[in-house]
Amino acid sequence: MHLLPNTSGVGLPFNLNPEMQETTPLWSLTPLVYGTGSGLGVGSGVPPINNFMQHFFRGRSDNFDPSLYSGNANDARFDTEGLRISSDALSVFISDEYGPYIYEFSRLTGMRLRSYRLPHSFYVKNLSPVGSDEIADNTSGRVANKGMEGLAITPDGQTLVGIMQNSLIQDGGSKGTLLRIVTIDIATGKVTHQFGYMLTTGSGVSEICALNDHEFLVDERDGTGREANIPPGNSTDAQVKQLFKIDLGNAVDISGLDDGSMTLSDAISNAVPKTLFLDIVASLTDPSLGVNAFALDDIPAKIEGVTFGPDVRQGNTTFHTLWISNDNDFVTTVNDVNGNPIVNPSQFFVFGFTDADLGGSRFVPQGFGGR
């Protein structure tokens, strides 16, 4: 990702030019469970490139063992959502919606190195390739297609922090407002805490990113905007795309929800404190941007990726950079509000902020390889 000063005199102060250098498919050394496609109008889910040593992951929703719960690490279905790099830069941690799973993979080879077990309350017992059926057949666990959406890693590289997109079924499901956050000790693989996050006006959360070892940015959004599918295939005016700053430092653990020692109302009242850090819609449509301002129906519906980039200087001011991207669901063309076809690209946005914008918080970037 090449972020360079814009010297043309037209447009924003910096240009961002993405460059695809290579891809690394993800695979397991041990065999995985693939669907047959029977009754679904598709063929076998086994990837043609599989071999004796490599069993590749796919997004096929029927790649599971129906006799086991959704956290079965041998299932080949894998809908990747959050991705963070280890501090030694040798591996990546990836979260998923199906399990939900959190796996560690080798950056060099793509081989899965480790599977992190989440609390059993996050998994569903009855699996189906059709999301609505899976929701109807379960009374607890994650909502189908709304599992571990966001993943952060603390700057010291010792802790993973995952957040669910929606409430667990037993916490209210798609209509719930309390989302669960888990912290995981990377060295031992153990879940150390669960915390509660309360939605403000969004319908779910798509990402979490570490400001320091106890404060995080959470990407809360609704489903409005370009490629919103309301009505199917049509763009709508974007409404809720906000980043909130939360603090887990003195947060109350809500693991008692799993054994009955804490009620849902208690967990809601002890949700982590949050303050608005960035209103993406307001920022992109700000009149001060002039011709560079976005129309509401040009802002992506699914703002899902958040990370930090290198610091930059503009004049005499040093800015930290916050990089944000969308998920276009591989849909390259949608309709505008009038039904006319328009392109629906993957988009990247870079925002600058200073230490003064953090309201007393301290930004600590993650170190890599001892740096």
Q: HEC states along 48-94?
A: CCCCCCCEECECCCCCCCCCCCCCCCCECECCEEEEEECCCCCEEEE
Domain-located, residue 264: yes
User: Does 306 map to a domain?
Assistant: no
- The answer as to whether 288 is a domain residue is no
Number of domains in the chain: 1
* Residue 353 covered by a domain: no
**Which domain covers residue 244, as residue numbers?**
24-278
**Within-domain flag for 267:** yes
User: Angle at CA 83, nearest 5°, toward 78 and 87?
Assistant: 135
Question: Please, what's the b/e burial string for 309-319 (b: 16 or more CB within 10 A of its CB; e: otherwise)?
Answer: beebeeeeeeb
Q: 185 has which bridge partners?
A: 159
pLDDT of 232 = 66
Q: 207: closest CA among 133, 295, 304?
A: 304
Q: What is the pLDDT of residue 230?
A: 66
Question: What is the Cα–Cα distance from 123 to 173, expressed in whole angstroms?
Answer: 13
pLDDT of residue 234: 80
pLDDT in tens, 49-91: 999 999 999 989 999 999 999 999 999 999 999 999 999 999 9
Reported as a single tens digit per residue, the pLDDT across 112-151 is 999 999 999 999 999 999 999 999 999 999 999 999 999 9
Binned at pLDDT 50, 70 and 90, residue 182 comes out as very high
Note whether residue 244 is domain-resident.
Answer: yes
- Identify the pLDDT of residue 235: 85
The answer, yes or no, to whether residue 101 has pLDDT greater than 80, is: yes
pLDDT one-digit tens code per residue, 214-269: 999 999 999 999 877 666 668 889 999 999 999 999 999 999 999 999 999 999 99
Average pLDDT over the chain, rounded to an integer: 95
Q: For the segment 319-367, what is each residue's pLDDT rounded down to a tens digit?
A: 999 999 999 988 888 888 788 888 899 999 999 999 999 999 999 999 8
Q: What is the pLDDT of residues 106-122, one digit of tens each?
A: 999 999 999 999 999 99
pTM of the model: 0.95
Q: How far is CA 310 from CA 87, 199, 261, 364, in A?
A: 16, 30, 45, 12
359 inside domain:
no
For residue 67, is it within any domain? yes
Q: Residue 231, preceding bond cis, omega within 30 degrees? A: yes
Amino acid symbol at 66 = P
Instruction: Look at residue 311 and tell me whether its pLDDT is greater than 80.
Output: yes
**118 and 181 Cβ atoms separated by less than 8 Å:** no
- Supply the pLDDT for residue 368: 87
Mean pLDDT to the nearest integer, 192-220? 98
